[in-house]
Structure 1
Amino acid sequence: MRKGSPAVWAFVITSTAGFMAALDNLVVTTALPSIRTHLGGGIADLEWTVNAYTLTFAVLLMLGAALGDRFGRRRIFTLGLALFTLSSLGAALAPGIDALIAARAAQGVGAALLTPVSLTLLTSAVAPAKRGLAFGAWGAVNGMAIAMGPLIGGTIVEHLSWQWIFALNVPIGLALLPLARLRLTESHGPNSRLDIPGTALASAGLFGIVFALIRGNADGWSSPTVLTGLIAGAALLVAFVAWELRTDAPLLPMRLFRNRAFAAVNSASLLMSVGMFGSIFLLSQWLQTAQGYSPMEAGVRMLPWTAMPMVVAPLAGMLVDRIGGRIIIAAGLAFQAAGLVWFALIVAAHVDYSSQIPPLVLSGIGMALFFAPVTTVLMGSVKPEEQGVASGANNALREIGGALGIAVLASVFTAHGDFSSPQRYADGLAPAIWVGAAAIAAATVAALILPRRRAAAATATATAAAGDSADSAQPLSTVA
């Protein structure tokens, strides 16, 4: 890509916007104790501070892709960026915890609009021979945002205030808006139909389940509110699947899950996010609440886990071409699960930080080995014209896994411990981390279902040869 070329501008604009959207997944985690002190609220409110973003982000990602196809990808990208910027300002100025949660939900809507079309905009600007490099760089930037979130958040909170973790998005967003208008090329997709019923069913179903999980310990798991949330949420998700199977323009084409590689890699992504997001949510607060570190010190002490992808991911990326993604993904998940098991075994009220470094490093290596090949495996599992919707589905499922992970692990934590003392925090943290490790162990099993390298190559060749005759259904978002 030549300096100053449309491809370079597309990469800079879309990756910077994607960095902000990905960063806001976890940047808030090290700020949670400060937010709780300043705005009040219990652990359920802190969960919603994170999950209001991840839930709206997850359930509207696929709709964002469809809106881009219908109304123009540059237009929807710009709209999403404007909403994300405005709601970031709202979060920074929030006078109470409820206002902050509402602003975070609006941020998630903006992120859901800009993220799926950003990859499509980048693809249309980059020559086919260089798209692999562009995808890898775009994914690396987004992965770095997730990895560095706790440190960036902790540093800002300590030296400025928690409000600035949101306020800093505003000047960046304002700078990107005119660039997006002037430097990105408008494009539309072949399918302009929107799946509004599917979006409504998925949104309501996931909200019901997450709401019930968050309220379970406070209201009682047999309370009418919790049971209604669980039962109604599950029923709505079943209705969502049934609707997707019958509609001509599905939000998430269920036929893709008949593909073994696609189903396996998405199952692994969902389960990995349950364990990873839930664990980071609790560990970031553990270092401050129970271990007495400042927000920045906590972010630094999370680096053996969160920064490891920057060291290991390039090496893992080179190995993918040699031995395939299946064994690397499975090994990465196994390492991450083992790291969490190790951490759960050593958790105590006054455990020395040096004892925490090895499991954090092991988990970080595992996370790096997972993220490096997962996009390659995912994109290779579907036809070229389905790569846009496949990417959107994978991103959505990872965000859903994150929301469920925070809700589930926090429920386990509150059932066994609380914030009142280091010992009580340790009492709740250990069983929660065990649950996170179990989820990632299940993800390891899912990864082992991936086809071996030769089988995957044969499947990809057969799929490409089948061409348009394989299926007449059009995807919601395509790679140009």
Structure 2
Amino acid sequence: MTAFSAMQRLVIAIAVLASFVTFLDGTVVTVALPAIRDELGGGITTQQWVVDAYLITLSALILLAGSLSDAYGRVRIMRIGLIAFGIASVAVAAAPEPVTLIIARAVQGAAGALLVPSSLALIMATMRGELQSRAIGVWTAFTTGAQIAGPLLGGLFVDLLSWRWVFLINVVPIGVTLVLLARLRLPDRPRGVRVDWWSGVLCAVGLGALVFALIEQPNLGWGSPAIWTPGIVGVALFIGFLVRQRHSPTPLMPLSLFSARNFAWGNLATLFIYAALSLNGFVVGVYLQEGAGLSATAAGLASLPITILMILLSSQAGAWAGRLGPRLFMTVGPLLMAVGALLLLTVAEEFDYWWQVLPAMIVLGLGLSLTVAPLTSAVLGAIDEDRSGIASAVNNAISRVAGLIVVAMLSTIVGGSLNLDGFHSAAWVTAALMAAGGVVSWIGIRKTAFAEPAPPS
């Protein structure tokens, strides 16, 4: 087994840390939502907006960020994103009322959009084949572990300090990443690629309008012009975005990428799987506090088995997928997660974590460990290195949009209230989405050969 060079190890460390802050901040907020509601006010709609304000800008701008990464250099874009993310995190922590908090979360998401495509593009530019699969496995273990560990860290900060400190967790990894970036010596010259800013506007405004309609619909109803007008406008703008991608000389989301079989089918699987993960993370984090009566720390600890399994198994799963192909792992993993979601149906009014939640967390962790690294390798390995930044951005945008839409539809899924019946409804929907991801993977994913990149000069 080929060992990573010193430069490749540095690239992996930077990629992990840069992505860590965005993944962490996407999930750390879930256990803080009840505390935010208690201090600043607002019901489930405000809680949805605190999550989705971040996801809207992250999802809508991540495509633009991928294009910027390819055009102006991955290291430069990453450095800008890290500094902006740190400033926005301080603004979130200092927010005096819900509107300011939501606006600051949106800015934070915009900064986060600059980080993920650049980090994965660094891996794609310096590694290929089995080595790349192993590197993506390491990246996956820690970044997905950050998603799962977020509720635990958030819970500790909420219980021991304040929910405001939850958003300052990023300061240390941001500082370390900036230091490591200064040590990285890779060619990172601008390529002179034109950036399609209008496509970025169409995508951002279209997604924002559509999500506004989905979140506010339970309050105002579909018959209200305040709902159906932005809904129609959002759909129209997003269709306009797709049409522009076909005709633009420099599209943010080149539709030609989807001619690669694994890229197209892998992104469809991503849509189902990440919608399920976002729904499950939100519902479990909030219900265990508001429904089961656990503290924020205990609610965060509930998902710790998933984190441990991800760290232990993801890198190995990535290596196996590099040798055997990703199809089997991308099929079995989501189906296992569907079983884990169904195990949450055992949660009852007389709550018992050890028998009702822990088995589900273990099965979910096993399935997630088998899925994420092979999925990332299948999608990005299907695209040549020159377009790795935009390919990474497309895949990450799809995963974020999936989470964005499912959280926006939360009130509809749970029947308006996150009580026990609503929790069970969310478990059924989660299982169905996971199963769909496994079936799509079995139908569409194939083993492909990787081309070795030229060594960096």
| TM-score (norm. length: structure 1) | 0.87
**Residue in structure 2 matched with residue 200 of structure 1 by the alignment:** 201
2:421 equivalent to 1:427: yes
**Distance in 2 of aligned mates of 1:6 and 1:234:** 45
| Higher deviation after alignment, 6-15 or 283-292 | 6-15
Between the two proteins, the alignment pairs up a number of residues equal to: 453
**Residue in structure 2 matched with residue 380 of structure 1 by the alignment:** 381
1:67 to 1:372, Cα distance in 2 relative to 1, 3 A = closer
Once the two structures are TM-superposed, the CA of residue 4 in structure 1 deviates from its matched residue by 11
Please say if residues 137 and 319 of structure 2, whose CA atoms lie closer than 8 Å, have aligned partners that are also in contact.
no
**Distance in 2 of aligned mates of 1:313 and 1:181:** 29
| Higher deviation after alignment, 192-201 or 12-21 | 12-21
Structure 1 segment 326-365 matched on structure 2, within 5 A? 326-343=327-344, 345-353=345-353, 354-365=355-366
Once the two structures are TM-superposed, the CA of residue 123 in structure 1 deviates from its matched residue by 5.2
Once the two structures are TM-superposed, the CA of residue 384 in structure 1 deviates from its matched residue by 3.5
**Residue in structure 2 matched with residue 277 of structure 1 by the alignment:** 278
**Residue in structure 1 matched with residue 314 of structure 2 by the alignment:** 313
Once the two structures are TM-superposed, the CA of residue 26 in structure 1 deviates from its matched residue by 0.4
> Which secondary structure state, in structure 2, belongs to the residue aligned with residue 336 of structure 1?
helix
**Residue in structure 1 matched with residue 228 of structure 2 by the alignment:** 227
Please say if residues 264 and 447 of structure 1, whose CA atoms lie closer than 8 Å, have aligned partners that are also in contact.
yes
**Residue in structure 2 matched with residue 51 of structure 1 by the alignment:** 52
Please say if residues 68 and 188 of structure 1, whose CA atoms lie closer than 8 Å, have aligned partners that are also in contact.
no
1:359 to 1:72, Cα distance in 2 relative to 1, 3 A = closer
1:96 to 1:378, Cα distance in 2 relative to 1, 3 A = same
Once the two structures are TM-superposed, the CA of residue 161 in structure 1 deviates from its matched residue by 1.6
Q: Which amino acid aligns with 1:243?
A: R
**Distance in 1 of aligned mates of 2:5 and 2:97:** 44
2:441 equivalent to 1:440: no
Structure 1 segment 11-410 matched on structure 2, within 5 A? 11-122=12-123, 131-177=132-178, 179-181=180-182, 183=184, 185=186, 187-343=188-344, 345-353=345-353, 354-410=355-411
For each residue in 1:184-237, what CA deviation from the matched residue of structure 2 results, as whole angstroms up to 9, or x when unmatched?
A: 546135352111121111111211221111111111132222212322221111
> Which secondary structure state, in structure 1, belongs to the residue aligned with residue 409 of structure 2?
helix
**Residue in structure 2 matched with residue 417 of structure 1 by the alignment:** 417
> Which secondary structure state, in structure 1, belongs to the residue aligned with residue 253 of structure 2?
coil
Once the two structures are TM-superposed, the CA of residue 183 in structure 1 deviates from its matched residue by 4.1
| Higher deviation after alignment, 319-328 or 263-272 | 319-328
For each residue in 1:331-377, what CA deviation from the matched residue of structure 2 results, as whole angstroms up to 9, or x when unmatched?
A: 1111112222232x324322322222222222222222111211221
**Distance in 1 of aligned mates of 2:350 and 2:234:** 40
Please say if residues 306 and 361 of structure 2, whose CA atoms lie closer than 8 Å, have aligned partners that are also in contact.
yes
Please say if residues 29 and 284 of structure 1, whose CA atoms lie closer than 8 Å, have aligned partners that are also in contact.
yes
Please say if residues 52 and 105 of structure 1, whose CA atoms lie closer than 8 Å, have aligned partners that are also in contact.
yes
For each residue in 1:143-164, what CA deviation from the matched residue of structure 2 results, as whole angstroms up to 9, or x when unmatched?
A: 2211211111112222222111
**Distance in 1 of aligned mates of 2:312 and 2:69:** 35
Once the two structures are TM-superposed, the CA of residue 9 in structure 1 deviates from its matched residue by 4.1
Q: Which amino acid aligns with 1:417?
A: S
1:277 to 1:248, Cα distance in 2 relative to 1, 3 A = same
Q: Which amino acid aligns with 2:330?
A: I
Please say if residues 409 and 436 of structure 1, whose CA atoms lie closer than 8 Å, have aligned partners that are also in contact.
no
1:307 to 1:129, Cα distance in 2 relative to 1, 3 A = closer
Please say if residues 73 and 186 of structure 1, whose CA atoms lie closer than 8 Å, have aligned partners that are also in contact.
no
**Residue in structure 2 matched with residue 471 of structure 1 by the alignment:** none
Please say if residues 9 and 184 of structure 1, whose CA atoms lie closer than 8 Å, have aligned partners that are also in contact.
no
| TM-score (norm. length: structure 2) | 0.91
**Distance in 2 of aligned mates of 1:308 and 1:176:** 25
Pick 1 or 2: higher relative contact order, CA cutoff 8 A, min separation 6: 2
Q: Which amino acid aligns with 1:187?
A: D
| Higher deviation after alignment, 122-131 or 425-434 | 122-131
| Higher deviation after alignment, 351-360 or 367-376 | 351-360
**Structure 1 segments unaligned to the other structure (5+ residues):** 419-424, 466-478
Once the two structures are TM-superposed, the CA of residue 264 in structure 1 deviates from its matched residue by 0.8
Please say if residues 121 and 185 of structure 1, whose CA atoms lie closer than 8 Å, have aligned partners that are also in contact.
no
Please say if residues 85 and 174 of structure 1, whose CA atoms lie closer than 8 Å, have aligned partners that are also in contact.
no
1:172 to 1:448, Cα distance in 2 relative to 1, 3 A = closer
1:179 to 1:372, Cα distance in 2 relative to 1, 3 A = closer
1:5 to 1:443, Cα distance in 2 relative to 1, 3 A = closer
2:448 equivalent to 1:450: no
Please say if residues 159 and 297 of structure 2, whose CA atoms lie closer than 8 Å, have aligned partners that are also in contact.
yes
**Distance in 2 of aligned mates of 1:240 and 1:70:** 20
1:169 to 1:318, Cα distance in 2 relative to 1, 3 A = closer
Q: Which amino acid aligns with 1:198?
A: S
**Distance in 2 of aligned mates of 1:260 and 1:3:** 29
Q: Which amino acid aligns with 2:423?
A: L
**Distance in 2 of aligned mates of 1:442 and 1:129:** 28
1:179 to 1:451, Cα distance in 2 relative to 1, 3 A = closer
**Distance in 1 of aligned mates of 2:175 and 2:321:** 38
Please say if residues 278 and 403 of structure 2, whose CA atoms lie closer than 8 Å, have aligned partners that are also in contact.
yes
For each residue in 1:391-448, what CA deviation from the matched residue of structure 2 results, as whole angstroms up to 9, or x when unmatched?
A: 22111111111111211234322x3425xxxxxx112222222222222222222212
Once the two structures are TM-superposed, the CA of residue 310 in structure 1 deviates from its matched residue by 2.3
User: How large is the Cα RMSD of the aligned pairs?
Assistant: 2.8
**Distance in 2 of aligned mates of 1:334 and 1:378:** 19
**Structure 2 segments unaligned to the other structure (5+ residues):** none
1:234 to 1:96, Cα distance in 2 relative to 1, 3 A = same
Once the two structures are TM-superposed, the CA of residue 59 in structure 1 deviates from its matched residue by 1.5
